[in-house]
Amino acid sequence: MKCIADIKVLRELLKQWRIAGESIAFVPTMGNLHAGHLQLVNTAKAQADRVVVSIFVNPTQFGVGEDFSLYPRTEHADQEKLQDVGVDVVFMPSVEEVYPVNELTKVSVSQVSENHCGAARPGHFDGVATVVCKLFNIVQPDKAFFGEKDFQQLTVINAMVADLNLPVDIVSVPTVRELDGLAMSSRNSYLTVEQREQAPQLYQSLCAAKALIRDKKIAYVDIEKQQTKFLAEQGFRPDYFSICRRYDLKTAEQGDTEIVILVAAKIGKTRLIDNIQVDIEN
């Protein structure tokens, strides 16, 4: 496995692979890798000849007062994990390598980025879309792999790729969970022992809402209110609990068949997100 920080060096290696007729898969990460990231890598390995993983804590997707400086950086441990699963290249650029001085361009995806986490974290998805577009242009992969845990992010990336005619196939990978249901996340490391015991209730609220939706006896808005109240009673500070149409993340209505339930809530200082998909037969 090679570790590369320079864009020109990476591009030269990728050029050699393409000349040899090899397909390239790409997994973008911000490091502090866990089993969810490794599932992305293993899925990528099954679908391409070569796998590139980036580790880059992107400053432009962190807002004022957010945890950019505190975000866990575990580069050595991350490299060992990626070596063990057979990654070909780890791309670990500096901020200066990715963002030139006086950069004038950013990528902004309207509508699907505006509600939910977009409303709570203004500018966040502009930072995500911009850095992912940059990384796609640097790596030029055949396929890129994203986890479904960050469902709104996945929706934003899909819209960007379609709108800009980017020649990459986006592959979504189901959320990897702990045994108690908590979605794996780098931010779980922020939780205290007591908070970690409470955290699975976020997923429990999603499962309860899914069952109520399928029961078809309670209005969606009432389900949202019910589960928001449940989370507050369990010690969370809910940001949103939203029952949405899966394809555009707008408010779902009775009669919609492809639904995603999105939730974000703070426990202590840690903001957790999760989602669950629901298919309904009319």
Angle, helix 151-163 to helix 124-139, in steps of 10 degrees: 60
Question: What's the rounded Cα separation, in Å, for the pair 88 and 1?
Answer: 5
Note whether 51 and 116 are within 8 A (CB): no
What are the residues whose beta carbons fall under 8 Å from the beta carbon of 217, sequence distance 6 or more?
Answer: none
Length of the chain equals 282
Note whether 27 and 41 are within 8 A (CB): yes
Residue type, 260: V
Residue 37 known to be catalytic: yes
Q: What single DSSP character describes residue 88?
A: S
Q: Give the count of beta carbons closer than 10 Å to the beta carbon of residue 76.
A: 7
Question: What's the rounded Cα separation, in Å, for the pair 116 and 122?
Answer: 10
Residue with token string 């590139």: 52
Q: Strand, helix or coil at 149?
A: coil
Catalytic site residue from 37, 76, 116, 124 = 37
Token pair of 184 as six digits: 């794996």
For residue 276, the cross-strand partners are: 261
Question: What's the rounded Cα separation, in Å, for the pair 192 and 175?
Answer: 23
Calculate the dihedral angle through the C-alpha atoms of 33, 74, 133, 163, rounding to the nearest 10 degrees.
Answer: 30
Q: What single DSSP character describes residue 166?
A: -
Q: Strand, helix or coil at 103?
A: coil
Active site residues: 37
